[in-house]
Amino acid sequence: MATSQPPTKDLTALATQILELSKSYDPAAKQTNLEREIVTKARELIAAVQTPRDYMTTVLRSIMESSAFRALLSLGAIQAIPPTDPITLADLESKTGAQASLLKRLFRPVVQGGIITLHPDGTYSHTPMSAVYARDEGDVASLYNYMFDEAMVQTGFAEYFQQRGAREPDGELATTHNPRTWHARQEGKTVFEILEQDPEHLRAFQKLMVMATRFRPYTGFYDFGKLVGEEGRTVIVDVGGADGTTVAKILEAHPDIKPEQCVVQDREQVIELAKKNEGLQKGVRLQAHDFFLPQPVKGAKAYHLRAICHDWSDTMVVKILKHLADAAAKDSKVLIADVVMPEGPLGGMAAFMDLGMLCIGGKERTKQNFEEVLGAAGWELDAIYPSGYESGFSIVEASLK
């Protein structure tokens, strides 16, 4: 059967671009942007010569390879390989308790992917890629296991949308009835309640949230100082402000804002953590509050929501924003610190982040999406202030209509 051919591209030009980029590449240096650019160009080159059938095969191989690697990690086989010396299957069987013939089959796609080395004498050894997982630097193995398991939720999308209807999770049930809770066979519980059942996954999730702050800067791209006005008025209410770190960072960068002009709100148990935050300036008001209830601080200059809206469906975000609109003064602002998705082709991890939020009933939003939820709640988008990070993290500023 004839296979359709990919569109003709200038392969020489792509190869030349990769060659030029590689001249500046230093494996020992931290060159994240350059590495991504080289990988992107390499993918363009592969796509230029792949047929649709080749592409399908590549995707399926990737799934099988990552599944086998996940199994080997859980069995302790990757960790059992010595740091520098090769090891036999018999020794791996002895160390892990896993059947040698099973390990051999699981290693095949991983070896083919270049993650583990298979020697002519049948022994196995690490590559630089796998050695990191064996040492578990920065809990990388547990992070991989968590991210793989969460990604596997998406393999059930087809069945989920056939059973539950082909539409986004929305409304008050979106947090308890979504692909993630369906996959766990625990609809009716929140994702966080399910996470708490697995301490290892919960630790990995918490570590990922800490790592995410590197791509979600607190300050440096929005002028919080412009919010300062009349004496005695609340300048910033950080809604869902966790332990107060966001307000602390804002106060560090903008000493013209007084701690007494700031409020940190969150659930009661989270506010107890904020009380122990030694980095939070004295004078900041701490207030237990559920943001689905009417906002108790009236007429603040700004109501700030950092990485809150993407956790919730459109219906629930509108509910949050309506409470803020009811409490706002005519010149109040709402500031939404979140990823703003581009409308066109995506780079980086944006598309995958959004699918991750879809799994839990949330959503990464485009400018149009923000305009829609803001408009439905009585707000009007003023401007978007991008952080400059590839993640698309920005501050969306809005005023009352």
Task: List the catalytic residues.
Answer: 310
Among 77, 114, 121, smallest CA distance to 95 is for 77
Name the residue with tokens 């308890």: 176
Pair 85, 79: CB distance under 8 Å: no
Name the residue with tokens 């929140």: 190
Pair 274, 244: CB distance under 8 Å: yes
Distance between CA atoms of residues 127 and 133, nearest Å: 10
List the structure tokens of 133.
């997982």
Distance between CA atoms of residues 10 and 3, nearest Å: 21
Q: Which amino acid is at 49?
A: V
DSSP element (H, E) containing 322: helix 314-327
CB-based burial, 284-299: b 16+ in 10 Å, e otherwise: bebbebebeeebebee
3-state secondary structure of 298: coil
3-state secondary structure of 340: strand
